[in-house]
Chains A and B, each alone.
Chain A
């Protein structure tokens, strides 16, 4: 282990905010210290942590919901980690990590650990670094980790893969978005949170959602469609209670274990591709051929596979 990873590891154990921040950067930036560090994290803590994914269309109130979840979790004395994901600009590669604003009220609470992350335009790469960030936060004592994403599409799917439990946040008036989502995201969500439920149309939306969720409801009797007014902290305690019950169910039924190992496989695959991509880019550059791509791929693998060292 390098001295730098040792320092970082000791810092994580002390819950030192600087060390947590640096450790996540080390992973994000692919620094050498990262591999050592990740290998040495306390696996027990990682197994125990509950990872909650929070997703939904822009404007439904995800950050407000996240913020009021933090508030409630803190009254229960839980140490909370938050990973807030924003998309990187495809043109400049930069990003505005704006969700931080809603979490500033917890800035001085040592038991609220926040990290804003940009997607950095990598296929699957986000999953890899966010997954590592989850493990770092767990090793630094966080008992529950919320992953919030405002990106739509691929990055949301990545995040959902990382989470033990996924909350989909909706609000009345998002009819079109919901139609578009039915096919994809809605199906992987464990909970549907109808936020801004003081607005007209909330009950109708709930009934619609319950219809869609009928099948999931067969697994357990825990209510899976819930109403909140996050800006007024309403419904948050009930939501957390349902989430906790469901988390217990996931553990006892062994589903959590399955989900985690699927996620780990996916993350491993991401890393394989991440490692291979530059090698094959290089190989293609060195052997420009006008062959059918599929045949060419097979040939390239055949020719290069044994030369590959990770």
Chain B
């Protein structure tokens, strides 16, 4: 192994500190037999080019990962996105997942909750409890986390436009469990920009939405320092049909916008940047995906350092969650999906993800059953414990092709970001549809390739079989009575709460929204009195207006 001053520096500084804090899983790692697995394989000679493009793990530009020992220290967080029906039923599913060895919760909310409607709103018809759990008031949130020790787990919540309300509820639930906010770990998605281009659960226009996000950054930086205040998401952009390079470009462009907004609001870069998290898609092209993760990490580090002049290393580190690609799942021969998910999960791990959700085989048909969720989790566990890829850091580094692809994705993304900025920035590009059109075109071209057979999807356009009854797996159905039950329990809460108190607190929210005051505290006060999500959002709708595509 070559020696180099920079290498010794890294060993003495970053590596030593990391080993001290997180000892590795084993004293030494061996293959079957006696061959040792190195922590970090390096080129013969470490030159400036290597240092500029790759560097050492846990060191700028973080191409090789954000921690010096990566998964030798600790595996990624195995975090399965789940939630459906009522809070009580989802609570059961979470406890099942925790018993099965999942290490973080990831809450899926139903669409009415994500768009700020109560379950009894006319807009909620047919959607209550369908794609996630229905949350109307604090009472639901209390039930959701019943008997789950919030100081011991990290919780990720997929909530965007009304993120501030759900975060407030989470804080109050923890408080009632006796846990102060500064002990809470987790992530709130809170990424509204990608909703306008790819996911569709927007409520307010971009400007006030960015204001809400900044309120969360601000409040959390002093009250909830361990919580990731945003998860800047490329996942849905990719699901909507973008290419890998577009996924990186649009996600980072959104990230830049959030940073700029926070800076304009007077925050210091190193005060909030470490709590920005990212969320990417893992698709089936293994090599492209590995390169994509590495490129994204390097590009973000460069942007944070050079453009925003961040000083602290933690501000430059892109930490991300990954989910395997939902749109790659086929409704035909559904067991094939297990293989797809395995490849995708492998790409995420080889790309250095911090946490991972693996999709279940039956998700092209409906919500996943408990047994298929278990297989999905087992897939991660097999990669972690059996495949050996977690025993050495960034094993693909130095592959001519991977490095070339990493460079080219980074370059393509950078060019696209420049183009967005020349067109007036992300918000302006959303308003005139520039970003949406690019995604739409990429999606269209891809689907055309499938339709023509040029791109083979096994079991779908080639190697089809007549499946007969084999394609009728047991499906998880959300009982239609759930809607009624949820509406009843909401109305019960409304009857039992102190109505005058609720109205006063809602008025305080309105007043804060009309001024420039941070909304977090007034919203915490309102949820504490069991004001509903829909009530709070309709106050905000009144002040901010509504966005329409």
A residues within 8 Å of B by Cβ? Answer: 58-59, 61, 64, 101-102, 104-105, 173, 196, 199, 231-232
Closest 9 CB pairs of A and B: A59-B432, A101-B549, A105-B548, A173-B424, A199-B424, A231-B431, A231-B205, A199-B428, A102-B548
Residues of A within 8 A of B424 (CB): 173, 199
Interface contact A61-B205, CB-CB below 8 Å: no
Residues of A within 8 A of B423 (CB): 173
Residues of B within 8 A of A101 (CB): 549
In the assembled complex, the Cα of A204 lies from the Cα of B394 at a distance in Å of 53
**Nearest A residue to B206 by beta-carbon distance?**
A231
Residues of B within 8 A of A104 (CB): 548
Residues of A within 8 A of B434 (CB): 59
Not counting A101-B549, A196-B428, a sample of 8 additional A-B residue pairs whose C-beta atoms are within 8 angstroms of each other reads A64-B431, A102-B548, A102-B549, A105-B548, A173-B423, A173-B424, A199-B424, A232-B205
What are 21 A-B contacts defined by CB distance under 8 Å? A58-B432, A59-B432, A59-B433, A59-B434, A61-B431, A61-B432, A64-B431, A101-B549, A102-B548, A102-B549, A104-B548, A105-B548, A173-B423, A173-B424, A196-B428, A199-B424, A199-B428, A231-B205, A231-B431, A232-B205, A232-B545
In the assembled complex, the Cα of A183 lies from the Cα of B548 at a distance in Å of 35
Number of B residues whose C-beta is below 8 Å from A?
A: 11
**Nearest A residue to B549 by beta-carbon distance?**
A101
In the assembled complex, the Cα of A105 lies from the Cα of B428 at a distance in Å of 22
CB proximity of A138 to chain B, nearest CB, Å: 28
**Nearest B residue to A172 by beta-carbon distance?**
B424
CB proximity of B208 to chain A, nearest CB, Å: 11
Residues of A within 8 A of B433 (CB): 59
In the assembled complex, the Cα of A232 lies from the Cα of B428 at a distance in Å of 14
**Nearest A residue to B207 by beta-carbon distance?**
A232
In the assembled complex, the Cα of A182 lies from the Cα of B545 at a distance in Å of 37
In the assembled complex, the Cα of A58 lies from the Cα of B549 at a distance in Å of 16
CB proximity of B444 to chain A, nearest CB, Å: 11
In the assembled complex, the Cα of A199 lies from the Cα of B548 at a distance in Å of 20
In the assembled complex, the Cα of A59 lies from the Cα of B205 at a distance in Å of 18
In the assembled complex, the Cα of A104 lies from the Cα of B546 at a distance in Å of 14
User: Which of A59, A102, A196 has the most CB atoms of chain B within a 10 A radius of its CB?
Assistant: A59
Residues of B within 8 A of A59 (CB): 432-434
CB proximity of B431 to chain A, nearest CB, Å: 7
In the assembled complex, the Cα of A232 lies from the Cα of B205 at a distance in Å of 9
In the assembled complex, the Cα of A101 lies from the Cα of B549 at a distance in Å of 7
Residues of B within 8 A of A231 (CB): 205, 431
**Nearest A residue to B423 by beta-carbon distance?**
A173
CB proximity of B334 to chain A, nearest CB, Å: 33
In the assembled complex, the Cα of A102 lies from the Cα of B433 at a distance in Å of 12
Q: 8 Å CB contacts to A: which residues of B391-438?
A: 423-424, 428, 431-434
In the assembled complex, the Cα of A193 lies from the Cα of B303 at a distance in Å of 38
In the assembled complex, the Cα of A231 lies from the Cα of B424 at a distance in Å of 16
In the assembled complex, the Cα of A232 lies from the Cα of B433 at a distance in Å of 17
CB proximity of A69 to chain B, nearest CB, Å: 15
Q: 8 Å CB contacts to A: which residues of B27-41?
A: none
In the assembled complex, the Cα of A173 lies from the Cα of B432 at a distance in Å of 12
Residues of A within 8 A of B432 (CB): 58-59, 61
In the assembled complex, the Cα of A240 lies from the Cα of B510 at a distance in Å of 32
In the assembled complex, the Cα of A101 lies from the Cα of B548 at a distance in Å of 9
**Nearest B residue to A103 by beta-carbon distance?**
B548
In the assembled complex, the Cα of A199 lies from the Cα of B205 at a distance in Å of 16
CB proximity of B413 to chain A, nearest CB, Å: 23
In the assembled complex, the Cα of A104 lies from the Cα of B549 at a distance in Å of 10
Residues of B within 8 A of A102 (CB): 548-549
**Nearest B residue to A171 by beta-carbon distance?**
B432
**Nearest B residue to A198 by beta-carbon distance?**
B207
Q: 8 Å CB contacts to A: which residues of B155-214?
A: 205
**Nearest A residue to B432 by beta-carbon distance?**
A59
In the assembled complex, the Cα of A113 lies from the Cα of B433 at a distance in Å of 25
In the assembled complex, the Cα of A237 lies from the Cα of B431 at a distance in Å of 22
In the assembled complex, the Cα of A201 lies from the Cα of B549 at a distance in Å of 26
Q: Mark B464-504, 1 if CB is under 8 A from A, else 0.
A: 00000000000000000000000000000000000000000
User: Which of A58, A231, A232 has the most CB atoms of chain B within a 10 A radius of its CB?
Assistant: A231
**Nearest B residue to A64 by beta-carbon distance?**
B431
**Nearest B residue to A200 by beta-carbon distance?**
B424
CB proximity of A118 to chain B, nearest CB, Å: 19
In the assembled complex, the Cα of A64 lies from the Cα of B431 at a distance in Å of 10
CB proximity of A117 to chain B, nearest CB, Å: 21
CB proximity of B189 to chain A, nearest CB, Å: 25
Residues of A within 8 A of B548 (CB): 102, 104-105
Residues of A within 8 A of B545 (CB): 232
Residues of A within 8 A of B431 (CB): 61, 64, 231
Residues of A within 8 A of B205 (CB): 231-232
CB proximity of A165 to chain B, nearest CB, Å: 25
Residues of A within 8 A of B549 (CB): 101-102
Residues of B within 8 A of A64 (CB): 431
In the assembled complex, the Cα of A101 lies from the Cα of B545 at a distance in Å of 18
Residues of B within 8 A of A199 (CB): 424, 428
In the assembled complex, the Cα of A64 lies from the Cα of B549 at a distance in Å of 10
**Nearest B residue to A58 by beta-carbon distance?**
B432
CB proximity of A169 to chain B, nearest CB, Å: 12
**Nearest B residue to A173 by beta-carbon distance?**
B424
**Nearest A residue to B431 by beta-carbon distance?**
A231
In the assembled complex, the Cα of A199 lies from the Cα of B423 at a distance in Å of 12
